[in-house]
Amino acid sequence: MKIERARVIVTCPGRNFVTLKIETDQGVSGIGDATLNGREKAVVAYLEDHVIPCLIGKDPRRIEDIWQYLYRGAYWRRGPVTMSAIAAVDTALWDIKAKMANMPLYDLLGGQSRDRVLVYGHANGADLAETVDAVARYVDMGYKAIRAQSGVPGMKDVYGVGRGKLFYEPAGVGLPQETQWNTPKYLRFVPTLFDKLREKFGLDVQLLHDAHHRLTPNEAAQLGKSLEPYGLFWLEDATPAENQEAFRLIRQHTTTPLAVGEIFNTIWDCKDLIQNQLIDYIRTTVVRAGGITHLRRIADLASLYQVRTGSHGATDLSPVTMGAALHFDTWVPNFGIQEYMRHSPETDAVFPHAYRFEDGYLYPGDAVGHGVDIDEKEAAKYPYEPAYLPVARLEDGTMWNW
Ligand SMILES: O=C(O)C(=O)C[C@H](O)[C@H](O)CO
Ligand SMILES: [Mg+2]
């Protein structure tokens, strides 16, 4: 059996997505997501110029060998561009193998450990009142877990505040938007938000919050402590994690559960965090961390330390990543939760999929493979549009983390 052809498909049904399609000489094909928000074309070039020529003629059944070939063989290891490209190949190959076995991907991985996958949705508002209303809408839709982000009084254009109701998209067309950041205002405001949410919605709904790498370890420790009375499911990306040691200080000061990992690309980015039990949830996902093959390695390491999974699932990860992640989630023994930002109807039409949401849970469906396809005619209607994530500055103009 041989890989006969591989192609990159770029489409922009409201936001950019990069998809790799691998076709075999036996008529079976598979797809993988390679979208890297704001840097999409770098992965397109990496795949087209450097990866696809090496794939042609290879046996698609040898997933592990192809993974090692692309990772070790490049000499230049790791990084978001390389690992997103490897992820796309890996996801497409698992899709092909599961289709050949006539099985849903979860069966190939070892079978389901659960029937359905707990997800959290995104409630965003420009201020406290709007955020409370947004949480109410998610409760009404059946969500059991909700991430709450709100504009902060005195701050303009804060991260996490959606544009339009119920759909949230951080990237904007054109050059990066500049947003403002003020840590003291934020630290004062966030506990008042969760106080209100607990007063209004009680203790049954799981609440989450994303600090988006903006705090120092000490500030993160202060926030974790001040949120303890509200029993959060997790506090995400409390501080940048290039220095994994930074989480030790946060951990020593608060029992608020900590989650991190959406920007990690390999097991090496989270090895110390996991082995020192500095986090509770690891947020790596299929497209960012080298596909199913590598994600499984991360989850297995995490399971030794009672760290659970909480895969990234923002709208810039295509439905292909969502489908593959759900098969992974339904298998992985140390599952925690799955992020689920609903895609737009235009995106759903480009990527027909077997998964569905019901009453706070996602079900992967029982289609063979990962259950997500690409409608190439529909995709062709939406040409690529340059778009960037915003950048943040402190009030004195200093560039800050976003
Ligand atoms: O989903 C999250 O937790 C995010 O922080 C979303 C990110 O901003 C987004 O995926 C960046 O591309
Ligand atoms: Mg996040």
Give 160's pLDDT tier (boundaries 50, 70, 90).
Answer: low
- Interval 182-199 mean pLDDT: 97
**What's the rounded Cα separation, in Å, for the pair 153 and 26?**
60
> Which pLDDT does position 284 carry in this prediction?
98
Q: Rounded CA gap, 58 and 130, in Å?
A: 54
CA of 171 to the centre of ligand 1 (A): 10
Residue 324's nearest CA partner among 360, 362, 358 is 362
Distance 326 CA to ligand 1 centre (A): 18
Residue 164 has pLDDT above 60, yes or no: no
CATH number of 109-369: 3.20.20.120
Task: Give the model's pLDDT for residue 337.
Answer: 98
Q: What percent of the chain has pLDDT over 90?
A: 95
> Ligand 1: which residue has its CA nearest to atom 9?
314
Across 166-180, 254-268, 274-288, 323-337, least confident range: 166-180
| Secondary structure (DSSP) of 372-384 | B---HHHHTTS--
Intrachain domains 3-103 and 109-369 with the same fold: no
The alpha-carbon radius of gyration of the chain (Å, integer) is 20
What's the average model confidence in pLDDT over 59-83?
A: 97
Give the residue ranges of DSSP H helices in 35-116: 40-45, 52-55, 63-72, 80-100, 105-109
Q: Where are the beta strands (DSSP E) in 170-273?
A: 172-173, 178-181, 206-210, 234-236, 258-260
CB 252 within 8 A of CB 286: no
Q: Give me the residue spans of the domains in the chain.
A: 3-103, 109-369
Atom 10 (ligand 1): residue with closest C-alpha?
314
Q: Tell me, yes or no, if the pTM score tops 0.95.
A: yes
pLDDT attached to residue 194:
98
120 is catalytic: no
Q: According to the model, what pLDDT value does residue 169 have?
A: 79
Please provide the average confidence, as pLDDT, over all residues in the chain. 96
In contact, 266 and 294? CB cutoff 8 Å: yes
Confidence band of 264 (pLDDT split at 50, 70, 90)? very high
Express each pLDDT in 348-398 by its tens digit: 999 999 999 999 999 999 999 999 999 999 999 999 999 999 999 999 999
Distance of CA 57 to the CA centre of its chain: 32
- Closest residue by Cα to atom 6, ligand 1, is 314
Residue 20 has pLDDT above 90, yes or no: yes
pLDDT over 80 (residue 159)? no
Judged against a pLDDT cut of 90, whether residue 90 lies above it is answered with yes
Point out the least confidently predicted range of 147-161, 220-234, 259-273, 322-336: 147-161
- In this prediction, residue 127 has a pLDDT band, given cuts at 50, 70 and 90, of very high
What pLDDT is recorded for position 156?
Answer: 78
HSE at residue 108, side-chain half, CA atoms within 13 A, is 26
Lowest mean pLDDT among 46-55, 150-159, 225-234: 150-159
Among the bound ligands, the one closest to the CA of 170 = 1
Residues with CB under 6 A from ligand 1: 37, 170, 210, 212, 262, 312, 314, 316, 339, 389
pLDDT in tens, 236-260: 999 999 999 999 999 999 999 999 9
Tokens 């690409």 belong to residue: 374
Q: Name the CATH architecture for the domain at 3-103.
A: 2-Layer Sandwich (3.30)
- The structure tokens listed for 397 are 């103009």
| Position 41 pLDDT exceeds 70 | yes
Query: What is the C-alpha separation between 317 and 335, in angstroms, rounded?
Result: 19
Q: Report the DSSP pairing between strands 206-210 and 387-388.
A: unpaired
212 is catalytic: yes
pLDDT tens for 277-331 read 999 999 999 999 999 999 999 999 999 999 999 999 999 999 999 999 999 999 9
What's the pLDDT band for 118 if we cut at 50, 70, 90? Answer: very high
Q: How confident is the model at residue 154 (pLDDT cuts 50, 70, 90)?
A: confident
Instruction: State in Å: Cα 73 to ligand 1 middle.
Output: 30
pLDDT surpassing 90 at residue 2: yes
